Amino acid sequence: MTKTVLITGATGFLGAHIVRSYSNSNYKIICTRRNQSDLWRCADIPNISWINIEQDNWKAKVVDEQPDIIIHSAWEGVISDSRDNWKGQVNNLGFLFDLLLIAKEICCKKFIGIGSQAEYGLLEERVNEQVEAKPHTAYGLAKFLAMQSTKTFCNIHSINWYWIRVFSVFGEYDNNNWLIPSLIKKLLNNQNMDLTGGEQKYDYVYARDLAKMILLLSQSAADNGIYNLSSNSSISLKSLILEIREIICSKSVLNFGAVPYRAGQSMLMEGDCHKYFQQVTNFEYSPLNTGLQKTIDFYKELIKQANESI
């Protein structure tokens, strides 16, 4: 029997990759949207049923679909300028509670929430799920409150739940103002750049891999709880940037150290994924250069299409 999955945040970067992963695995897919949502990231994915959450009857429509799995990826205020907007961040909890109440009403099999490494706060070493959360931003605290709410509600109502703490992600369909897409475009144009020292060490996971990891988790009999999802292998930003420049064969001059680190700069974001490997599968990641090449090819094509439309 075909299972039904409800995915919120499907028009966003990570959400769209999650939709693609389920689309390739014989699920009936229901996605939420708003009036102003741009569906371009999902335009080529067949057979998505959209529910507009700005319509009064959206909850009844979700109930009618009886999703077996709910994946809550939607979140307002992800960009850096919004991460310390306390009121805006906490407002995200309202939509979460709506979904949890729906999950209870339909006896949903599994509820998966997308959290963030920001829940841990500033890191000094690689962290596993046993490390105490010490968020230092409104965004991190709101995500942590969302996790606690999901955990408590689902435990009370016997709903299987998973909370995904995502670390650094790259891939196709990312927002243009994030590091890797903006970097690729400048390198393709051979622009010289002033950069920080690039000593930050992050776990960069390819978005397609992350989406597949979430799919496999939802299909597993893993214990309820928090799961770190990252590449489980860190790289310095300087090394990453040089790798991208090499793949592109760019002539850009990169002035590392010309820009000071911002106040409160996270110098380390490393997530230990061994719980996932033990509970779900010993996941085989795409090689970093393979993911980067596919991402670069994607943005090359976008630029080509944009130039052709002028």
Q: Are residues 138 and 222 in the same domain?
A: yes
Check: CB of residue 255 under 8 Å from CB of residue 193: yes
**Burial environment of residue 247 by CB neighbours within 10 A (0 to 12, 13 to 18, 19 or more):** middle
H/E run at residue 202: strand 201-202
Give residue-wise pLDDT tens across range 53-80. Answer: 999 999 999 999 999 999 999 999 998 8
Tell whether 31 is covered by a domain: yes
Give residue-wise pLDDT tens across range 185-220. Answer: 999 999 999 999 999 999 999 999 999 999 999 999
Q: Are residues 210 and 198 in the same domain?
A: no
Q: What average pLDDT does the structure give for the chain?
A: 95
Tell whether 274 is covered by a domain: no
DSSP class of 119: G
Give residue-wise pLDDT tens across range 135-179. Answer: 999 999 999 999 999 999 999 999 999 999 999 999 999 998 889
Band of pLDDT at residue 4, cut at 50, 70 and 90: very high
CATH number at residue 107: 3.40.50.720
Give residue-wise pLDDT tens across range 14-51. Answer: 999 999 999 999 899 999 999 999 999 999 999 999 99
Would you give the distance in Å from CA 246 to the centre of its chain?
Answer: 26
Band of pLDDT at residue 310, cut at 50, 70 and 90: low
Check: CB of residue 233 under 8 Å from CB of residue 273: no
What CA–CA distance (Å, rounded) separates 249 from 51? 44
Number of domains in the chain: 2
Beta bridge partners of 234: none
What CA–CA distance (Å, rounded) separates 278 from 175? 33
Q: Are residues 242 and 94 in the same domain?
A: no
Q: Are residues 98 and 136 in the same domain?
A: yes
Q: Are residues 143 and 164 in the same domain?
A: yes
Q: Are residues 220 and 243 in the same domain?
A: no
Q: Are residues 13 and 137 in the same domain?
A: yes
Which residue range forms the structural domain that includes residue 239? 179-202+234-269+287-308
What CA–CA distance (Å, rounded) separates 92 from 151? 16
Q: Which of 97, 115, 13 is nearest to 59 (CA)?
A: 97
Q: Are residues 155 and 252 in the same domain?
A: no
